[in-house]
Amino acid sequence: MSGNTFFSANLLLAYTTYFVGTASPGPSNLAIMSIAANNGRKAALAFALGVISGSMFWAAVATVGISAALIAYSHFIVAVKIFGGLYLLWLAFKSGRTALATAVATSPKAERPETLTSLYARGALLHLTNPKAILVWVSIVALSSNSSGPAHGAVIAGCAVIGCLVFSGYAVLFSMDSARRLYVRTRRALEGCLAVIFGVAGIRLLAWPSR
């Protein structure tokens, strides 16, 4: 197998791994759906950009090799784990409160507006406070470990494009009127599911072993 073939195979595997992880239903995607339906496209895109930024931060950390030291430093992992778990539980509380609310927003403007900066920060925190994201990126970067630095750069650049397409796609899709009407009809069930997912993720993260 030639070097170029191996390089391409590694990139394809890394891209596929990242695409499956980002496109699969999870806390980030479900949060984007909820924000898009409740607050509109701009709000959802701001949140999605925060998610992508948090993911790319850990990508850069993994690429320069700092992640190995962070993983070995148990106190860092414990701190991130506790903060991330509590943050997810807070998101679960917010989603649960929305599910129990009697008022139903029929348009994004009916909700009290949240600044785009705040939404961006919320999205970024989902990844910055998740130690599992570090491990995922260590694995993805390792797929190109037998190649030179430019291979790592290609992995990050390609995954950044994939992340933008996937997360912004969710934001655009679920901010459409048809999707919003569906959300209004199923708001309680969807927000309830989101509360359960955030809650389970937070508890599992708090219970996740440091080593």
DSSP codes joined into one string, 94-134: HHHHHHH-S---SSGGGSPP--HHHHHHHHHHHHHT-HHHH
Q: Is pLDDT above 70 for 107?
A: no
Instruction: Please state the pTM of the whole predicted model.
Output: 0.72
* Cβ atoms of residues 70 and 177 within 8 Å: no
* pLDDT at residue 167, as a whole number: 92
pLDDT range class, residue 110, cuts 50, 70, 90? very low
* pLDDT at residue 124, as a whole number: 92
* pLDDT at residue 1, as a whole number: 46
- If DSSP codes are grouped into helix, strand and coil, which group holds residue 176? coil
pLDDT range class, residue 121, cuts 50, 70, 90? very high
> What's the average model confidence in pLDDT over 58-64?
78
Q: Is pLDDT above 70 for 158?
A: yes
Mean pLDDT of the chain, nearest integer: 76
* Cβ atoms of residues 183 and 37 within 8 Å: yes
Q: Is pLDDT above 70 for 211?
A: no
d(CA 167, CA 170): 5
d(CA 150, CA 75): 32
* pLDDT at residue 151, as a whole number: 58
The total number of residues shown for the chain amounts to: 211
* Cβ atoms of residues 71 and 138 within 8 Å: yes
Q: Is pLDDT above 70 for 131?
A: no
Helix 41-63 crosses helix 131-142 at what angle (to 10 degrees)? Answer: 60
d(CA 123, CA 176): 21
pLDDT range class, residue 6, cuts 50, 70, 90? very low
Q: How many CB atoms lie within 10 A of CB 186?
A: 13
Beta carbons within 8 Å of 197's beta carbon, 6+ residues apart: 26, 27, 30, 92
